[in-house]
Amino acid sequence: MLTPGQIDAYRTDGYVVVRSALPERTVVRLREAADGFAEQARRLTGDTDVIELDDSDAFSGGPARVRRIKSPHLHHETFSAMLVHPPFLDMVEGLIGADIRWHHTKLNAKHPGGSGQVEWHADWGYYPHTNDDLLEISIALDPSTEASGCLKVIPGSHLEPLLDHTENGRFVGAVPVGSFDPAAAVSIELEPGDISIHHVRLLHGSGPNHSRRQRRLLLQGYAAADAWPLMAQHQPSGWPEWDERILRGRPSVDARLAPCPVKVPLPVVPAMGLYQVQRQLSRSHFAEAPH
């Protein structure tokens, strides 16, 4: 459970950090599960439905390596257990209420040599809903530091108008350089087993990994059951599947409408993931890795 002080911090800043949220043995199991996907990736020559390969400039040959595991909870019981980890659901309940649906999971890996940057964006820019009671838990499997490319956030930005995520009339999944003050950024450094939780409208990004170790972050997205997606690509593919996403509480056919700023994330190139979409940004926020 989060303390009232932590809940207040989330409401004001748009994020909260919980230290030592998982014991070492659980982190070891998560790492082992991730290693299994990395092993499969070594034999791949292209992306699959589950594994996205690292194609960054920093990758200089050798066996293929994972950049993202897509929906790992659908493919490995260690990750499915993590999604429903009761202390996590208690925290989520404290922030968005008792009726909770899972929204997505992913595991982002950044490798030594400068890979894996994520340009500044708000998740809301990708998937607006009828209300903004959505959040993401980020779970550190490795040290997530300034050097290894930890998450950076702009505190309070979740209460501000939504910045444009388009460029030249196209959705690029990131805000342009100069549209916010990077001096206001706070780095969320995490030790393995620490977590951060951020609001769907919080502006965030993360730089490339310049450390000597990989940096893996498991991200788990949750939504209030009465937050309904506005965009077709996030809408249910069928009713039973949609209702099976309820993790706690009750499903709802009511859509709760809240006065949130929405920009429709169109036009998009179909089936492009975050990294490809953001590559369309003409100028990177991370100067050492220009586009």
Ligand X SMILES: O=C(O)CCC(=O)C(=O)O
Toward ligand X, which CB reaches closer, 10 or 127?
Answer: 127
| Closest CB to ligand X: residue number | 206
**Separation of alpha carbons 243 and 105, rounded Å:** 17
Residues 6+ apart with CB under 8 A from 69: 34, 37, 50, 51, 52, 75, 106, 107, 109
Residues 144-173: x where in contact with ligand X by CB under 6 A, - otherwise, as a string: -------x----------------------
Among 10, 51, 65, 108, binds ligand X (CB under 6 A): 108
Site for ligand X in 201-230 (CB under 6 A): 204, 206, 217, 219
Measured CA to CA, the distance from residue 69 to residue 193 in angstroms comes to: 19
Give the residue, chosen from 139, 274, 277, 281, that forms a contact with ligand X under the rule CB under 6 A.
Answer: 274
Give the separation between CA 291 and CA 289, rounded to whole angstroms. Answer: 7
Task: Compute how many other C-beta atoms are within 10 angstroms of the C-beta atom of residue 167.
Answer: 16
Q: Smallest distance, Å, CB 5 to ligand X?
A: 25
Binding mask 21-60 for ligand X (x = CB under 6 A): ----------------------------------------
Q: 56 vs 206, which CB is nearer to ligand X?
A: 206
If the CB atoms of residues 69 and 96 are measured against ligand X, the closer one turns out to be: 69
Q: Which residues have CB under 8 Å from 176's CB, separation 6+?
A: 164, 167, 281, 282, 283
CA dihedral sign of residues 248, 9, 218, 121: positive
Q: What is the DSSP letter of 179?
A: S
Positions that interact with ligand X (CB under 6 A): 108, 118, 151, 204, 206, 217, 219, 274
